[in-house]
Chains A and B, each alone.
Chain A
Amino acid sequence: MSKHLNRQDKIRNFSIIAHIDHGKSTLADRLIQTTGLLTQREMKDQILDTMDLERERGITIKLQTTRLVYKAKDGEEYILNLIDTPGHVDFTYEVSRSLAACEGAVLVVDASQGVEAQTLANVHLADMQGLEIVPVLNKIDLPSARPDEIKHEIEEVIGILAEDAPLISAKDGLNIEDVLEAVVHKVPAPNGDEEGPLKALIFDSYYDSYRGAVAIVRIKEGQVKKGTKIMMMAAKKVFEVVEVGIFIPSAAPVEVLKAGDVGYITASIKNVIDCRVGDTITEAERPAPEPLPGYKKAQPMVYCGIYPAEGESYDVIRDALEKLQLNDAALTFEPETSVALGFGFRCGFLGLLHLEIIQQRLEREFDLDLIATSPSVIYRITKTDGEVVMVQNPTNLPDRQSILTMEEPIVDAHIFCPTEYVGNIMELCQNRRGVMLSMDYLDAKRVRLHYELPLNEVIYDFFDALKSKTRGYGSLDYEFKEYRESDLVKLDVLLNKDLIDAFSMIVHSSKAVSRGRVICEKLKEVIPRHQFAVPIQASIGSNIIARETISALRKDVLAKCYGGDISRKKKLLEKQKEGKKKMRQLGSVEVPQQAFLEVLKYDDSK
């Protein structure tokens, strides 16, 4: 036993948590570099964020994990497993699972900006997993850095000791070793029973076309090696292990993974659905009496239609969605048809960011041109004949006469923000039909608001509104609470008198008129003028509730075109042609793809 403990004594499993932009990924890169895993030349900026999209948006979507070997000042060699976490509320569950794989978390705080909303939300998550939090002050090289004040702030606001927090500059590689030392000395070593029944937490998975679904795991108890018959406790599926290994940072096979280790397991698992984040892997022949706590099945909360843009193929989109789904068990899709847009797919997502990310990955990684329709939540409709139907596409809403009641999903939302923005937040939530349950002052400067919000109010632009109303300091966390009866109507949009089903949405009746008005205004801005006047109308049933008109185009001609103009004017017309190609013919009206995005934007000033 003591021998085992000795082995685990040299292991530290930790994550890095931070407010966005406080330097999480840069620090991760430095840790990798300092422990000599990669040479300077091999370093790409921010190794752990593998997708271009992530690097661009500065957020981590898919987790990466890597094993560092560090020779500490005490002369001992330690194995440090760095587990990266995604950085968005849509992925709170994924964050909580990866934190559950750790014993500690390095909390990166910007030495000039101090503790911010997301810092608190992350600390809260880490706290719930009982992690040891190791504060680090980053960007110490900036002239505006004020380490002493920020240390004090960390102690005051978060309530952890920060006196000897390392002062670093991840960008310049300053004092990185202090962070490694702090991890070694402060993060507890794992102490799982290596001989007990296997308990491995899947905190991430990905699909490899040769090896099938790969589970990324933290072994909590027991051990696993090639040939072990394993069972997924929630999925209730049995597989035989083909390979186990570690990330250095690329996958490298090892003979065995034991309690305390972080690594991967492959077992010819054909489907990522059988390898869900949060599930516990145990031995089929000697199963653990109960799984590790906290498993939840990923449940789509938001749906939207995804259609090929002009000239794009339906089949290519299906192939792309299938490929993405291999890696993303939370993504669902099925074929659907729209009068306006033809054949497409109804896709389900964890939240709006997840939706945006999938959309952008389809566009970038697969080079597809798409149209996404208004996102929708799932409504529960009870018909007069007693039948209950779940509707996530407004077009499928039964007609009004046959509806007895409509219910919409309500979420429990926690918003963190500095006290000066409380008024703004309350106004925003009130506009979004929120009901305040409580308000807690975490200290003199920070507040946590607890609201009930209808999910269909959250999916329209709520994050952007929250950010703009709190100058970026507000953060949001929500989870599904219940279905609740609500006075909902279907809002339709007509272009030149034709109902465009792709714009239809379900809204609360109190919001219908203002929403209709905003949509008509936005469409008026983005739809170019035609040779005829184009009326834009919003309606509920046959009742027109808002209207705008795009005046007819009178002129589309270049005044002059002589020798010196020809090249330039030709390019101008080519551009016009390109723009036209991107238009979508809806009824008699040509609509730019941008229009589909514009109708999603909620204008909270109206």
Chain B
Amino acid sequence: MSLGLYVHIPFCRSKCYYCDFCSMPDLSRRVDYLDALEKEVQLHAARYGRLMPETIFIGGGTPTLLEDQDWHRLSRLFERFFDLSSLSEWSVEGNPESVNLALSKTLKSIGVNRFSMGVQSMDFSLLRAIGRIHSPEEVTTAFNALRQTGFDNINLDLMTGLPGQTLSAIDETLSWLKQFDPEHVSAYGLKIEEGTPFDRMERQGLLKLPEETLEREMDHRIREVLRERGYQHYEISNYAKPGRACRHNLNYWNCGSYAAIGLSAHGYLNGVRYENTSDLNRYIHDLSHETLPVISEEAISPQEDEKEWIMLRLRLSEGIPYSQYQARYGKSFLNEKKTAIEKLKGTGWIDLQKEHLRLTEAGLDFANAVIVEFFE
């Protein structure tokens, strides 16, 4: 079974209006945080042993706000406490305004081989409307720096359904994308999360979001264009050139194990899902007292695992291979889910094949409705 390692860097220069991830604009805590993180890695290793991750993902926040020496420190830390002999993918996430040639070289030198950049849109006013601080030009500069350093596995994040966004704005971003020609694209529909500035604006009636029909058109446009360009639409929101699917994320969608380090990170080891605190002071305090900053642990029962597996597998274009279900749960998917399948047949959302069941093109927009039918 494969294992991933997720490391969270919770700093951002400023907070985007839609973001409910754990991040803060106060960079002064950077060193304290990394000290604590180092401690966490040690305690984690003491508890779980010298794990052998096949993938690493450093996400945030904006990890590219870390400095040169921080990256070297992280690299040494991982080498000391993990067995990296099977590591095949090491991704770092970052934002255009903090990516430059020097950083790119540093990342390359420590072994990072995949970069994921939050572009969202190539329309300046849209970027401002959602609280992003970068400009389209900075995207170009950053992208070129990465390429120049030799990064040949780059993901760009896009967003649809933004306030004021139009189909032509999507087209424009897509034509920029054609020039960049990244190996991977993630396209997310905006979701208003509780407690974000957008949430407050929406309650006050100040947020004018595109109609659902238009938002779907945007999503479908991206789907169509990227497929034409040779990308595989391998997960609901993810597209990759052949062989470039994100292995770290595939591991999540296969219900694989993953270790988690850092503020608010979630891990899943030995059948137990655990969650770190999102409170930076508590995180630092716990670790300075030699305690892992875990706030909850949940053993995932076979029943729960099955729900998760179905929920996640259905997001993949591969869908649910019956043989895998059989191997995992020792029962026949078609027998087990007969009623649900019968109910879904008329919807046009499922593609029922001999070897597997997956979402149809139309079903991609109604994944939740399909998933809940399979929940007991």
CB distance from B42 to the nearest CB of A (A): 22
> Which single member of B237, B249, B266, B371 contacts A573 (CB below 8 Å)?
B371
A44 in contact (CB, < 8 A): no
A531 touches B366 (CB 8 A): yes
Known: A566-B308, A566-B312. A531 touches B266 (CB 8 A): no
A555 touches B216 (CB 8 A): yes
A210 in contact (CB, < 8 A): no
Q: How far is the CA of A576 from the CA of B375 in the complex (A)?
A: 10
Identify which of B78-86, B131-139, B163-171, B257-265 touches chain A: B257-265
Annotate B323-339 by CB proximity to A: 1 below 8 A, 0 otherwise.
00000000000000000
> Which residues of B sit under 8 angstroms from A561, Cβ to Cβ?
252-253, 311-312, 315
B368 touches A573 (CB 8 A): yes
> Which residues of A sit under 8 angstroms from B258, Cβ to Cβ?
563
CB distance from B41 to the nearest CB of A (A): 17
Q: How far is the CA of A342 from the CA of B190 in the complex (A)?
A: 42
B234 in contact (CB, < 8 A): no
> Which residues of A sit under 8 angstroms from B267, Cβ to Cβ?
563
CB distance from B329 to the nearest CB of A (A): 17
A311 in contact (CB, < 8 A): no
> Which single member of A558, A570, A577 contacts B367 (CB below 8 Å)?
A558
Q: How far is the CA of A560 from the CA of B253 in the complex (A)?
A: 11
B215 in contact (CB, < 8 A): yes
B228 in contact (CB, < 8 A): no
> Which single member of B249, B266, B366 contacts A556 (CB below 8 Å)?
B366
B236 in contact (CB, < 8 A): yes
Known: A554-B213, A576-B372. A559 touches B6 (CB 8 A): no
> Which residues of B sit under 8 angstroms from A555, Cβ to Cβ?
189, 212, 215-216, 365-366
A569 in contact (CB, < 8 A): yes
> Which single member of B236, B275, B311 contacts A569 (CB below 8 Å)?
B311
A560 touches B375 (CB 8 A): no
Known: A559-B191, A577-B372. A564 touches B266 (CB 8 A): yes
CB distance from B362 to the nearest CB of A (A): 9
A155 in contact (CB, < 8 A): no
Annotate B217-257 by CB proximity to A: 1 below 8 A, 0 otherwise.
00000000000000000001100000000000100110000
> Which residues of A sit under 8 angstroms from B268, Cβ to Cβ?
563, 566
B44 in contact (CB, < 8 A): no
Q: How far is the CA of A242 from the CA of B190 in the complex (A)?
A: 74
> Which residues of A sit under 8 angstroms from B253, Cβ to Cβ?
561
> Which residues of A sit under 8 angstroms from B308, Cβ to Cβ?
566, 570
> Which residues of A sit under 8 angstroms from B342, Cβ to Cβ?
none
A563 touches B236 (CB 8 A): no
A560 touches B212 (CB 8 A): no
Known: A557-B365, A573-B371. A563 touches B311 (CB 8 A): no
B273 in contact (CB, < 8 A): yes
> Which single member of B191, B236, B307 contacts A570 (CB below 8 Å)?
B307
Annotate B263-288 by CB proximity to A: 1 below 8 A, 0 otherwise.
01111100001010000000000000
B298 in contact (CB, < 8 A): yes
A562 touches B252 (CB 8 A): yes
Q: How far is the CA of A433 from the CA of B45 in the complex (A)?
A: 78
Residue of B nearest to A579 (CB): B372
B266 touches A567 (CB 8 A): yes
Q: How far is the CA of A388 from the CA of B227 in the complex (A)?
A: 72
B201 in contact (CB, < 8 A): no
Known: A570-B311, A576-B372. A560 touches B237 (CB 8 A): yes
Q: How far is the CA of A558 from the CA of B252 in the complex (A)?
A: 15
A464 in contact (CB, < 8 A): no
Q: How far is the CA of A70 from the CA of B264 in the complex (A)?
A: 65
Q: How far is the CA of A563 from the CA of B266 in the complex (A)?
A: 6
CB distance from B348 to the nearest CB of A (A): 9
A580 in contact (CB, < 8 A): yes
B260 touches A559 (CB 8 A): no
B372 touches A567 (CB 8 A): no
Residue with the highest number of chain A CB atoms closer than 10 Å, among B190, B304, B308, B347: B308
> Which residues of A sit under 8 angstroms from B36, Cβ to Cβ?
none
B364 in contact (CB, < 8 A): yes
> Which residues of A sit under 8 angstroms from B188, Cβ to Cβ?
559-560
> Which residues of A sit under 8 angstroms from B252, Cβ to Cβ?
561-563, 566
B61 in contact (CB, < 8 A): no
Q: How far is the CA of A561 from the CA of B6 in the complex (A)?
A: 14
B311 touches A576 (CB 8 A): no
Residue of A nearest to B366 (CB): A556
A564 touches B265 (CB 8 A): yes
> Which residues of B sit under 8 angstroms from A574, Cβ to Cβ?
307, 372, 375
> Which single member of B260, B275, B364 contacts A557 (CB below 8 Å)?
B364
> Which residues of B sit under 8 angstroms from A531, Cβ to Cβ?
347, 366
B266 touches A557 (CB 8 A): no
A554 touches B367 (CB 8 A): no
> Which residues of B sit under 8 angstroms from A556, Cβ to Cβ?
365-369
CB distance from B148 to the nearest CB of A (A): 29
Q: How far is the CA of A531 from the CA of B365 in the complex (A)?
A: 11
Residue of B nearest to A558 (CB): B368
Known: A567-B273, A570-B307, A570-B308. A562 touches B366 (CB 8 A): no
A573 touches B311 (CB 8 A): yes
B63 in contact (CB, < 8 A): no
B4 in contact (CB, < 8 A): yes
Residue of B nearest to A554 (CB): B212
A577 touches B375 (CB 8 A): yes
Q: How far is the CA of A574 from the CA of B311 in the complex (A)?
A: 11
Residue of A nearest to B252 (CB): A563
Within 8 A of A (CB), among B180-208: 186, 188-191
Q: How far is the CA of A557 from the CA of B364 in the complex (A)?
A: 7
> Which residues of B sit under 8 angstroms from A580, Cβ to Cβ?
372
> Which residues of B sit under 8 angstroms from A569, Cβ to Cβ?
311
Annotate B305-323 by CB proximity to A: 1 below 8 A, 0 otherwise.
0011001100100000000
CB distance from A522 to the nearest CB of B (A): 22
Q: How far is the CA of A560 from the CA of B193 in the complex (A)?
A: 13
Q: How far is the CA of A562 from the CA of B213 in the complex (A)?
A: 26
Residue of A nearest to B346 (CB): A531
CB distance from A203 to the nearest CB of B (A): 52
Known: A554-B213, A557-B236. A563 touches B260 (CB 8 A): yes
Residue of B nearest to A577 (CB): B372
CB distance from A345 to the nearest CB of B (A): 29
Known: A567-B273, A567-B298. A557 touches B367 (CB 8 A): yes
> Which residues of B sit under 8 angstroms from A560, Cβ to Cβ?
186, 188, 237
B312 touches A573 (CB 8 A): no
CB distance from A529 to the nearest CB of B (A): 9
Residue of A nearest to B369 (CB): A556
Q: How far is the CA of A573 from the CA of B367 in the complex (A)?
A: 11
Residue of A nearest to B363 (CB): A557
> Which residues of B sit under 8 angstroms from A564, Cβ to Cβ?
6, 260, 264-266
Q: How far is the CA of A576 from the CA of B368 in the complex (A)?
A: 9
Q: How far is the CA of A574 from the CA of B236 in the complex (A)?
A: 20
> Which residues of B sit under 8 angstroms from A562, Cβ to Cβ?
249, 252
> Which single member of B6, B213, B273, B367 contacts A566 (CB below 8 Å)?
B273
A573 touches B372 (CB 8 A): yes
Within 8 A of B (CB), among A529-578: 531, 553-564, 566-567, 569-570, 573-574, 576-577
Closest 4 pairs between A and B when the two form their complex, measured CB to CB: A564-B266, A559-B188, A577-B372, A554-B212
User: Would you mind naming 30 contact pairs between A and B with Cβ atoms under 8 Å apart?
Assistant: A531-B347, A554-B212, A554-B213, A554-B216, A555-B189, A555-B366, A556-B365, A556-B369, A557-B364, A557-B365, A557-B366, A557-B368, A558-B236, A558-B368, A559-B188, A560-B188, A561-B312, A562-B249, A563-B260, A563-B268, A564-B264, A564-B265, A566-B266, A566-B308, A566-B312, A570-B308, A573-B311, A574-B307, A574-B372, A576-B372
16 more CB-based (< 8 A) A-B contacts, given A555-B215, A564-B266: A531-B366, A557-B368, A558-B236, A559-B190, A559-B191, A561-B252, A562-B249, A563-B6, A563-B258, A563-B268, A564-B6, A566-B252, A566-B311, A573-B311, A573-B375, A574-B372
What is the interface of chain A, defined by CB distance below 8 A to chain B?
531, 553-564, 566-567, 569-570, 573-574, 576-577, 580
